[in-house]
Amino acid sequence: MIDFNRPAFTGKETDYIKQAVMNHKLCGDGEFTKKCSQWMKDKLKTKYSLLTTSCTHALEMGAYLTDIQPGEEVIMPSYTFVSTADAFVLRGARVAFVDVRPDTMNIDENLIEAAINEKTRAIAPVHYAGVACDMDKIMEIAKHYNLKVVEDAAQAVNAYYKGKALGTIGDFGCFSFHETKNYIMGEGGALLFQDDEMLERAEVLREKGTDRSKFFRGQVDKYTWVDFGSSYLPSELNAAYLYAQLEACDKIDERRMSVWNFYNENLKDLADKGIIEVPFIPDYAKHNAHMYYIKAKNIEERTELISYLRSKDICSAFHYVPLHSAAAGRKFGYFVGEDKYTTKESERLTRLPMYYDLTLEDAATVTQAIHDFYKGR
């Protein structure tokens, strides 16, 4: 049986968790949380990074910090995870869904401007599969119309746009360390930003509306309730797991990349013949091998492909049902312009098994099964 995903374990995770236990420090913002934040600062060149309980929560923080008001609008692709939209909907915002580019499945940067109106407050680009959106274009539009940019970089930790780490380009960047992502802590995430003026508000929001972070730094002698807040800090046990993963990032990247490249080389013949489509990586993007997907001719062929692979004990998975077609999507948002690609392309897409422990032998079983499926047609 070849699983679709298995959470990575690289070796030191349990030692670090044990260390956290022995340190008698299990709640948030201890040594391991600090080490994880420092890693993001050093490696990804972000000025600030706050570890959070999930990417969903990082997005909620980002949405809150944009100051978006009820009735105002945020622009995002419809082809994304629900959390991108939920974060803004919780603030009473409406979602303007824009079509994706069929080559990367990212928001079509050329359709954003047409979705802007006097209520628009923010853009939330999603770096699907760890492949960058066209950020120069998006940032230029945001600057021109004075909009905030919240990058959903859940899948894009340690992926780059023209040498800049994804998540560090917009006003806010949101990472996920959920066990289905590249580097993991069970459930977890991070909020990244570069603006000094955001630090205090972000820390207060994360610490139940108190200035506790300042207190710990010795900047105030007691902490009090200063603003709206929640609890977005993860336990040290989770941070300890994550720190082991971040230390082993090269090992994780190398293994994922070798599987990604293997799929790409061994499915090239089918792609060249136009039988399937494979991911496209624009010149400006350095991806992180988060995901490998193929596109079948249509939804019927995809359904048959998934069940054929299943019969060979291979788990593959399709992805998002476009948000604008869901009940909540209709209630909280609307699609701008024509849905030329979002529905059609999402119905063709199948994700192949991809995880740290997946061997090239397993990957070969997968590509062979795909060849067998198409041979019989």
Ligand X SMILES: *Cc1c(COP(=O)(O)O)cnc(C)c1O
Choose one: 142-150, 152-160, 234-242, 329-337; the region binding ligand X (CB under 6 A): 152-160
In the block, tokens 């991806």 appear at 287
Binder of ligand X out of 37, 54, 245, 350 (CB under 6 A): 54
| 152 touches ligand X by CB under 6 A | yes
> What is the x/- site pattern for ligand X, positions 239-278, by CB under 6 A?
----------------------------------------
Binder of ligand X out of 120, 158, 176, 316 (CB under 6 A): 176
| 37 touches ligand X by CB under 6 A | no
| 78 touches ligand X by CB under 6 A | no
CB of 86 to ligand X, least distance (A): 9
Residues of 263-288 as b/e, b for ≥16 C-beta within 10 angstroms? beebbeebeeeebbbebeeeebbbbb
- The residue ranges of DSSP E strands in 159-200, in sequence order, are 160-161, 164-165, 172-176, 189-193
CB of 351 to ligand X, least distance (A): 11
Tokens of 135: 């950020």
Choose one: 79-87, 196-204, 334-342, 346-354; the region binding ligand X (CB under 6 A): 79-87
| 132 touches ligand X by CB under 6 A | no
| 155 touches ligand X by CB under 6 A | yes
Binder of ligand X out of 46, 83, 342, 346 (CB under 6 A): 83
Name which of 62 and 189 has its Cβ closer to ligand X.
189
- Round to whole Å and give the CA distance between 3 and 181: 15
Report the phi/psi class of residue 130: left, alpha or beta, with left for phi > 0 and alpha for psi in -120 to 50.
Answer: left
- Round to whole Å and give the CA distance between 270 and 221: 66
| 84 touches ligand X by CB under 6 A | yes
SS3 7: coil
Binder of ligand X out of 154, 202, 366, 370 (CB under 6 A): 154
H helix count then E strand count, the chain: 14, 13
Q: What is the DSSP string of 32-83?
A: HHHHHHHHHHHHH--SEEEEES-HHHHHHHHHHHTT--TT-EEEEESSS-HH
Binding site residues, ligand X, CB under 6 A: 54-56, 80-81, 83-84, 126, 152, 154-155, 176, 178, 189
